[in-house]
Structure 1
């Protein structure tokens, strides 16, 4: 699996359809290859955003919903670990977006085991819903 690296790749992935949602996450999918960009005469062809084969995955964990960097990084690691289940899917760019905060009264520690378990369970649910809609 390949990771989304730059803003243009993330925007292209977010431009696709929302294939699954859970209370805290949304999964966006954009099929590859993308349609070619028209080029005027005399201009160089733009560099493609993606290689047309493979599955691309990106994680958007905004500071707005996860204030502590250690929490954002822990959630991002969980996204990439659970996202390995996308291997073997048709070529597409996926973006997992955190859309609401986890309750800080319930998860006091920034990287508690309870938070990790809750994030992983919800991500597994998110990817299972996405696989059902793709089938």
Structure 2
């Protein structure tokens, strides 16, 4: 599994489709084909994605997670859950985007075990929905 690093990679994936949503997260996917994977066209100086593999990125805006500790904890959970063996994402580029804040009255600490468990559970649900949708589309 590869990680998205550049702004252009994130923009390319966000221009793709949204494949799954939960209360707090959205999963965007972009297929790795054409100019994204190869530099065949003269206009493209270098491909955005150099390897045909599963790519993952995490977007946690300050708007929805004010504290850096919370943003970093959520990103760590995204990368850990997506790297686990029970997640079967297709070979494509994916971005997990936080789209709503977690209630600060319920999760008082910026990085509590309760918050991490809630994030992990919701991410597992999100990735399971995405994998189920991909499996349904793959069937003839």
- Shared fold by TM > 0.5? yes
C-alpha distance in structure 2 between counterparts of 1:115 and 1:125, whole Å: 15
List structure 1 runs of 4+ shifted beyond 3 angstroms. 34-40, 85-90
Residue 39 (structure 1) shift: 3.2
Tell me what 2:58 maps to: 59
C-alpha distance in 2 between matches for 1:48 and 1:123: 29
Q: Which runs of 5+ in 2 are unaligned?
A: 136-140
Give how far 1:52 is off.
Answer: 4.2
Q: 2:102 maps to which residue?
A: 102
Cα 1:73/1:34, change in 2 over 3 Å? farther
TM-score scaled by structure 1? 0.89
Matched, 1:39 2:42: yes
- Bigger relative contact order, structure 1 or 2 (CA pairs below 8 A, ≥6 apart): 1
Partner of 2:82: 83
CA deviation after TM superposition for structure 1 residue 91, in Å:
2.3
Contact 1:33 1:52 in 2 (8 A): no
User: What CA deviation, in whole Å up to 9, does each residue of 1:45-90 have, x standing for no partner?
Assistant: 4111102410110000001100000000000000000111487644
Give the match for residue 74 of structure 1: 73
Counterpart of 2:5 in 1: which secondary structure?
coil
Cα pair distance change 1:47/1:22, threshold 3 Å: same
Indicate the residue corresponding to 1:48 in structure 2: 47
> SS in structure 1 opposite 2:55?
strand
TM-score by length of 2: 0.86
The more displaced of 113-122 and 77-86 is 77-86
- The equivalent of 2:138 in structure 1 is none
